[in-house]
Amino acid sequence: MREVTSFVVVFPQRLDGVEEERAMLLQALRREYPHFEFEAFPGRGDDEFGIIPVIGEVGSHEAGEAGRVYMRKPLDPRVIPDLVDTLRVCSAVGAAA
C-alpha cells in the first residue's frame, strides 16, 4: 500500500481573490515538503487553512487495473497539523520568506 503524498489545500475566506498569495503559499509548501504534491481547492474555506489528504486513487500503473480504487496508508497524525502550521507561518511572514 502506498503512502499519501497528495493534498488539497483549502484557503481561508480572507484569501479569496488573492491568487498571487495563494500561489506563493503553495510554492512555499512545495519547497518545504518536496516529497508531497499540493493543489488548491477551487472553493473557499472558513477562517482557517484546511488540508485534505488524497487517500485513494483510481486505477493503477498495471494493465487491466484501470477501474479499481486503491486506498493509501493512513497518515501519521502529525502530518496535517504540520502542514497547517507551515501555511500559518508562511502567511504571517510572507510566503516568499
pLDDT of residue 62: 61
Residue 79: its pLDDT value, please? 95
Output the pLDDT for position 97: 46
C-alpha to C-alpha distance for 27 and 36, rounded to whole angstroms: 12
Q: What is the pTM of this model?
A: 0.81
For the chain, residues with pLDDT lower than 50 are: 96-97
What is the per-residue pLDDT for 46? 81
Residue by residue, DSSP assigns 15-55 as GTT-HHHHHHHHHHHHHH-TTSEEEE-SS--SSS-EEEE--
> Residue 11 burial (CB < 10 Å; 0-12/13-18/19+)?
buried
* Confidence (pLDDT) at 70: 81
